[in-house]
Amino acid sequence: MTAEQHHSHQATRQERHRHEQHGHGSHQDHQDHQDQHADHEHGGHHAHDGHRTHRFNPANIQRLLGQERQELLPVTATLQAAGIVPGHTVVDLGCGPGYFTLPAAALAGDTGRVYGVDVQPEMVDICLRRAAEAGHRQVDVLQSAEDHVPLAGSIADRVFIAFVLHETDNPPAFLREAKRLLKAGGEIAIVEWQKKDGPPGPPTAHRVSPEDVATVANQAGLRVLEQRPLNDHHYLVRLAAA
Ligand SMILES: C[S@@+](CC[C@H](N)C(=O)[O-])C[C@H]1O[C@@H](n2cnc3c(N)ncnc32)[C@H](O)[C@@H]1O
């Protein structure tokens, strides 16, 4: 472990002490959590030292890998909508257990490279294990800190960010860090829940709208190339340096 990675590891552990964790189950799950834990145990974006407390609980990773999700959000079609093609270097920022990371590696092919990055060590471990089991040699998985990714700048054709922006403490700082990773002509793809009621996903109040994404992107020195719905619940926004 490099000094930088060690630092990231430490920082993340401290973050995790500050953050209460919960998973993205059905809307009903969230309601139940909120009803039962009216304060901050599972409620989401409560302020602790100015930080959000909303973070996906690794205990619920099967929800991120289930067949139901594949039906609602076909993974390869989503990655293609983000413009990922063979030979690309892709950073899957907030990769979780690798729902998108492994298919991104298949899409980028032998001449491509995929970096899975996550703040939670449990996610890094499982994504690494799944990539190894799938025989993807061109995948690296790294642990990051909240607004710092331990990768050199200007390396990525695509930075793919699915269902992460709404969890970040400082969205403009997070997107600025994503922008740092882009090659000239590279793009960031954001996938998020529509900000409306309905399963599956976090409560409406925790979701970010496409307009919210555009505002944050603007603050981070990015411009919107395209915004489109992927289905009734999810949308994609493609961003490039302004
Ligand atoms: C809802 S999960 C989505 C995982 C994956 N992108 C997917 O769609 O299957 C959100 C992930 O983002 C990670 N995350 C949250 N904030 C992050 C940050 N600032 N930097 C990197 N990862 C972050 C969480 O640890 C979690 O694994």
Domains of the chain with bracketed CATH: 67-241 (3.40.50.150)
Nearest atom in ligand 1 to 96's CA = 27
Predicted local confidence at residue 199, as pLDDT: 65
Could you tell me which residues are beta bridge partners of residue 156?
A: 182
In this predicted structure, the answer to whether residue 189 has a pLDDT above a threshold of 60 is: yes
For 202-218, the pLDDT digits (tens) are 889 999 999 999 999 99
Question: Ligand 1 in contact with 64 (CB < 6 A)?
Answer: yes
Question: Ligand 1 in contact with 168 (CB < 6 A)?
Answer: yes
Predicted local confidence at residue 141, as pLDDT: 98
**Nearest Cα to 154, choosing from 109, 186, 176?**
186
Q: What is the mean pLDDT of residues 162-182?
A: 97
User: Which range (33-42, 201-210, 221-230) has the least confidence?
Assistant: 33-42
Does 241 or 25 have the greater pLDDT score? 241
d(CA 133, CA 146) in angstroms, rounded, equals 28
Protein residue whose Cα sits closest to atom 11 of ligand 1: 94
* pLDDT band with cut points at 50, 70 and 90 for residue 68: confident
The mean pLDDT value of the chain amounts to 82
For 5-20, the pLDDT digits (tens) are 433 333 333 333 333 3
CA of 163 to the centre of ligand 1 (A): 7
Question: Ligand 1 in contact with 24 (CB < 6 A)?
Answer: yes
Question: Ligand 1 in contact with 94 (CB < 6 A)?
Answer: yes
In this predicted structure, the answer to whether residue 35 has a pLDDT above a threshold of 60 is: no
